[in-house]
């Protein structure tokens, strides 16, 4: 890793230089929530945000998109993506993208996702946890890769970690904006990280989590929460690692049709329904439990399918808390 | 060829044949001979059928890779899309992508006995295994235990009756169980009293013993069937690793993206579309919700 410093006074210039790479999207405040939007000026951004409602997955795996267009009886596709810069991603969201990559870039790769991913510059930014964050428990509070540049806040600017060849190119082309990192900067960086590590209020003990959950398959806790759950599927929509989709063909006129896909949720009753009306997850209990199992699946090479971003808690209308459910399930085993 | 895995290839319907009142057999050929040439599959794999502008659905390949130049799908009229394809005729064009899934490990089983256990529509994927095994001649003996509702529901009836009569010459023994009595069934039962009976598919195991060291079982049928058939096999000491079953789940992508076919829990998650649809009983023991 190469480290450089971006002094505060050069931030705006640096930001402007990014427009040469593609449309810039960054967190913007909208009422009480944040969302990634196109921005043209640093003043539009809210870089001290906690989390956006929809995670950055929306740029690669869209809430709704046409994958094929029917013209003259044949499917045509438009795979080529526009270049983009995603500015200000938190470490957990970068990990979320890495988990999606494992699914969507695995052969045969999803061409839409892949093309957008290849044409997008990822710029991370440091953050302070709020009451919902538990990324530290899952080891996703620090990104070692998955970004081009990562900006860590310093009292007088930013410590920049360069994570890719493209990151190097940006630093190279804007050489005059950056400085060498001093010992003082490193001390400030370390101090920030320590302060941050101590600021987490929520913790998910993850020792033996996967096995514990499996053993607790019949725990009454699942039932208790399944009864409170509204099965609205919000938690799926906002999760940076949920990626189920549903497909539907739609006619535009007598000659043209599109094949569309859109976010799907495992809370929906028809998620496990097959022909003849047989449902493999017929009850809300089955579906509620399924989501927790899917999120807590541990892949030795990539970790859990949850990055601890806290979105499912913040945006659950029934106020169901992910960590609390898991801890209660664990408790019910004893 | 397109790099887009969601793109489908034109295939012409060469023939449509009524198998029963609910199932039709579609014989297809790819329009582009190059695509047809490259399309290789194993018994137990499936394709996604694309009716452009209406949608896609997964269907097992029911012909055998030993019989080249065409592809056969046995499709039950089950809902919106399958109803639509049932209206299609010879010469119509549909889209096909695939083949998908792991298929049965045919090479690994060479030299052994195969017990195929089919319930209802489960006969479709197993027909691919059946003809592959007979045509290749690489298997010691093949049993087909087939459970059906009524005489009218027997899929590939001509082939089944042919095998009842002449199967032994091809190292293949067929046994048939039916649930609803009818003159045709009674006639069959009289002709083959040792092999046709009224009952369910598990009744066909009665009196059968087999060399567990040299035998594999391959099962396909409705969800309720697995538990009972597996019990019969385990009672006869067949190892869980020698019991293969092919499963069905809702599928959209067929390639491990859309998440619909995921089964299991935190310790073991499987995609039926790419880790399956063929699983062993060991898989079922370690992955909850598989059967
Ligand atoms: C691996 C595999 C192999 C199969 N092989 C065969 C076969 O050889 N012959 C056969 O007749 N049927 C087979 N099926 C079942 C077949 O896919 C369904 O009958 C068919 O999708 C029903 O579609 P429909 O629109 O007519 O039904 P509807 O009930 O109207 O379906 C409504 C929606 O649910 C979807 N859907 C329903 N059932 C399934 C399902 N099982 N998998 C995925 N999506 C589903 C449909 O795509 C449709 O969009 C197989 C299924 C799988 C998963
Ligand atoms: S957001 Fe909350 S209420 Fe809605 S489905 Fe998820 S857990 Fe249930
Ligand atoms: S499960 Fe909840 S906390 Fe975990 S990644 Fe998804 S939204 Fe974030
Ligand atoms: S069918 Fe889409 S993941 Fe298996």
Tell me: the pLDDT tens digits for B23-81?
A: 999 999 999 999 999 999 999 999 999 999 999 999 999 999 999 999 999 999 999 99
Q: Give yes or no for a contact between A238 and A309, defined as CB atoms under 8 angstroms apart.
A: no
Between CA B258 and CA A271 the distance in angstroms is 11
Between CA A60 and CA B116 the distance in angstroms is 44
Interchain CB distance below 8 Å, A259 and B54: no
> What pLDDT score does A192 carry?
96
Find chain B residues with C-beta within 8 A of A248's C-beta. 55
Q: What is the DSSP pairing of strand A74-76 with strand A64-71?
A: antiparallel
| Structural element, H or E, at residue A287 | helix A284-295
Tell me which residue has tokens 């930013």: A158
Q: Which of A293, A294, A298 to mutate to test the interface with B (most CBs of B within 10 A)?
A: A293
Cα(B53) to centroid of ligand 4, in Å? 20
Collect all residues with Cβ–Cβ distance below 8 Å to B198 and sequence separation of at least 6. B177, B178, B179, B181, B185, B189
Tokens (6 digits) for A35: 């969302």
Tell me: the pLDDT tens digits for A102-123?
A: 999 999 999 999 999 999 999 9
Cα B270 from chain centroid (whole Å): 20
Tokens (6 digits) for B253: 């992508």
- Taking alpha carbons only, the member of B176, B130, B125 closest to residue B153 is B176
Using omega within 30 degrees of 0 as the cis cutoff, is the peptide bond preceding A254 cis? no
User: Which of B43, B48, B75, B78 has most ligand 1 atoms within 8 Å of its beta carbon, as the pocket-test mutant?
Assistant: B78
User: Which of B48, B49, B247, B258 has most ligand 4 atoms within 8 Å of its beta carbon, as the pocket-test mutant?
Assistant: B258
Rounded to a whole number, what is the distance in Å from the CA of B228 to chain A's nearest CA? 18
CA distances from A177 to A123, A169, A187 (A): 16, 13, 22
Looking at the CA of residue A313, tell me the nearest atom of ligand 3: 2
Interchain CB distance below 8 Å, A257 and B258: no
DSSP letter, residue A114: H
Tell me which residue has tokens 């899929």: B155
Cα(B55) to centroid of ligand 1, in Å? 11
Interchain CB distance below 8 Å, B257 and A272: no
Q: Give yes or no for a contact between B273 and B246, defined as CB atoms under 8 angstroms apart.
A: no
Signed CA dihedral, B160, B161, B162, B164: sign only: positive
> What pLDDT score does B262 carry?
95
Domains and CATH numbers, chain B: 9-100 (2.40.30.10), 113-246 (3.40.50.80), 247-291 (2.10.240)
Tell me: the pLDDT tens digits for B257-268?
A: 999 999 999 999
The ranges of chain A with pLDDT < 70 are none
pLDDT beyond 60 at B291: yes
B43: number of Cβ within 10 Å: 27
Q: Give yes or no for a contact between B123 and B72, defined as CB atoms under 8 angstroms apart.
A: no
Between CA B50 and CA B7 the distance in angstroms is 9
> What pLDDT score does A316 carry?
97
Q: Give yes or no for a contact between A164 and A171, defined as CB atoms under 8 angstroms apart.
A: no
Specify the 3-state DSSP secondary structure of B36: helix
Whether the predicted interface score ipTM is above 0.90: yes
DSSP A151-191: EEEETTEEEEEE-SHHHHHHHHHTGGG-BPPPHHHHHHHHH
Q: Is the CB of B121 under 6 A from ligand 1?
A: yes
Specify the 3-state DSSP secondary structure of B38: helix
- Taking alpha carbons only, the member of B24, B40, B170, B187 closest to residue B103 is B40
Tell me: the pLDDT tens digits for A135-148?
A: 999 999 999 999 99
Q: Residue B1: which pLDDT band, with cuts at 50, 70 and 90? A: very low
| Structural element, H or E, at residue B224 | helix B223-235
Collect all residues with Cβ–Cβ distance below 8 Å to B230 and sequence separation of at least 6. B219, B243, B245, B281, B291
Between CA B84 and CA B52 the distance in angstroms is 11
Specify the 3-state DSSP secondary structure of A67: strand
Rounded to a whole number, what is the distance in Å from the CA of B83 to chain A's nearest CA? 12
Cα(A268) to centroid of ligand 1, in Å? 18
Residue with the smallest CA separation from ligand 4 atom 3 is B256
Find chain B residues with C-beta within 8 A of A270's C-beta. 250
| Structural element, H or E, at residue A286 | helix A284-295
Using omega within 30 degrees of 0 as the cis cutoff, is the peptide bond preceding B277 cis? yes
DSSP letter, residue A57: H
Between CA A110 and CA A96 the distance in angstroms is 17
B22 CB near a chain A CB, below 8 Å? no
A47: left (phi over 0), alpha (psi -120 to 50) or beta: alpha
Q: Is the CB of B59 under 6 A from ligand 1?
A: yes
Looking at the CA of residue A92, tell me the nearest atom of ligand 3: 5
> What pLDDT score does A221 carry?
95
Nearest CA in chain A to B223: A278
Specify the 3-state DSSP secondary structure of B197: strand
B72 bridge partner residues:
B27
Tokens (6 digits) for B41: 């599959």
A24 bridge partner residues:
A85
Residue with the smallest CA separation from ligand 1 atom 31 is B79
Cα(A56) to centroid of ligand 2, in Å? 20
> What pLDDT score does B2 carry?
57
| Structural element, H or E, at residue A76 | strand A74-76
Looking at the CA of residue A267, tell me the nearest atom of ligand 2: 5
Q: What is the DSSP pairing of strand B215-220 with strand B243-246?
A: parallel
Interchain CB distance below 8 Å, A70 and B52: yes
Global pTM value: 0.94
Q: Give yes or no for a contact between A296 and A305, defined as CB atoms under 8 angstroms apart.
A: yes
Cα(A246) to centroid of ligand 1, in Å? 14
Specify the 3-state DSSP secondary structure of B274: coil
Q: Give yes or no for a contact between A125 and A151, defined as CB atoms under 8 angstroms apart.
A: yes
User: Which of B57, B82, B290 has most ligand 1 atoms within 8 Å of its beta carbon, as the pocket-test mutant?
Assistant: B57
B31 CB near a chain A CB, below 8 Å? no
Rounded to a whole number, what is the distance in Å from the CA of A234 to chain B's nearest CA? 17
Q: Please give the order of strands across the beta sheet that includes A245-251.
A: A74-76, A64-71, A257-263, A245-251
Residue B62 in marked binding region: no
Collect all residues with Cβ–Cβ distance below 8 Å to B143 and sequence separation of at least 6. B113, B114, B115, B116, B172, B173, B174, B175, B208, B210
Between CA A165 and CA A171 the distance in angstroms is 10
Q: Which ligand is nearest to the CA of B75?
A: 1
């Amino acid at each position: 890793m190469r480290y450089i410093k971006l002094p505060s006074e050069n931030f705006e210039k640096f930001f402007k230089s990014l427009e040469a790479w593609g449309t810039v999207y960054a967190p913007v405040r909208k009422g009480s929530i944040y969302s990634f939007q196109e921005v043209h000026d640093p003043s539009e951004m809210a870089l001290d945000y906690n989390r956006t409602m929809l995670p950055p997955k929306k740029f690669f795996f869209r809430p709704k998109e046409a994958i094929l267009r029917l013209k003259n009886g044949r499917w045509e596709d438009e795979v080529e993506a526009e270049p983009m810069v995603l500015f200000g991603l938190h470490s957990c969201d970068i990990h979320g993208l890495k988990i999606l990559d494992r699914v969507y870039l695995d052969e045969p790769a999803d061409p839409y996702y892949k093309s957008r991913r290849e044409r997008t510059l990822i710029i991370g930014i440091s953050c302070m946890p709020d009451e919902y964050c538990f990324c530290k428990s899952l080891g996703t509070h620090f990104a070692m890769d998955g970004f081009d540049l990562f900006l860590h806040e310093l009292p007088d600017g930013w410590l920049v970690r360069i994570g890719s060849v493209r990151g190097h190119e940006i630093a190279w082309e804007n050489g005059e904006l950056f400085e060498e990192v001093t010992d003082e900067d490193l001390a400030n960086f370390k101090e920030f990280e320590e302060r941050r590590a101590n600021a987490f209020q929520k913790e998910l003990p993850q020792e033996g989590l996967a096995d514990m959950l499996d053993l607790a398959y019949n725990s009454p806790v699942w039932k208790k929460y399944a009864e409170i759950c509204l099965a609205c599927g919000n938690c799926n929509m906002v999760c940076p690692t949920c990626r189920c989709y549903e497909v539907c063909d739609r006619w535009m006129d007598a000659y043209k049709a599109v094949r569309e896909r859109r976010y799907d949720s495992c809370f929906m009753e028809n998620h496990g329904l097959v022909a003849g009306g047989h449902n493999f997850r017929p009850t809300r209990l089955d579906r509620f439990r399924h989501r927790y199992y899917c999120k807590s699946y541990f892949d030795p090479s990539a970790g859990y399918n949850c990055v601890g971003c806290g979105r499912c808690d913040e945006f659950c209308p029934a106020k169901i808390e992910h960590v609390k459910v898991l801890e209660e399930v664990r408790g019910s085993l004893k | 060829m397109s790099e887009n895995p969601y793109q489908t290839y034109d295939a012409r319907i060469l023939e449509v044949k009524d198998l029963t009142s609910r199932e039709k057999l579609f014989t297809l050929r790819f329009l582009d001979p190059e695509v047809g040439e490259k399309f290789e599959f194993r018994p137990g794999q499936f394709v996604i059928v694309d009716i452009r502008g209406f949608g896609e659905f997964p269907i097992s390949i029911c012909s055998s890779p030993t019989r080249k130049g065409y592809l056969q799908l046995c499709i039950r009229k089950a809902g919106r899309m399958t109803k639509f394809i049932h209206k299609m005729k010879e010469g119509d064009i549909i889209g096909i992508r695939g083949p998908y899934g792991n298929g049965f490990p045919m090479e690994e089983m060479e030299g052994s006995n195969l017990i195929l256990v089919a319930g209802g529509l489960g006969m479709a994927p197993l027909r691919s295994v059946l003809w592959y095994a007979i045509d290749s001649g690489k298997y010691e003996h093949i049993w087909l235990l087939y459970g059906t509702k009524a005489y009218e529901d027997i899929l590939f009836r001509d082939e089944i009756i042919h095998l009842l009569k002449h199967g032994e010459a091809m190292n293949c023994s067929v046994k048939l169980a039916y649930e609803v009595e009818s003159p045709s069934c009674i006639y069959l039962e009289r002709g083959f009293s040792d092999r046709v009976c009224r009952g369910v598919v598990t009744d066909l195991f009665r009196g059968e013993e087999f060399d567990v060291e040299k035998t594999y079982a391959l099962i396909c049928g409705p969800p309720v069937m697995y538990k009972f058939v597996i019990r019969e096999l385990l009672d006869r000491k067949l190892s869980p690793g020698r019991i293969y079953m092919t499963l069905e789940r809702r599928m959209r992508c067929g390639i491990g993206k859309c998440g619909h076919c995921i089964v299991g829990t935190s310790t073991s998650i499987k995609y039926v579309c790419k880790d399956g649809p063929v699983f062993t009983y060991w898989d079922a023991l370690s992955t909850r919700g598989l059967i």
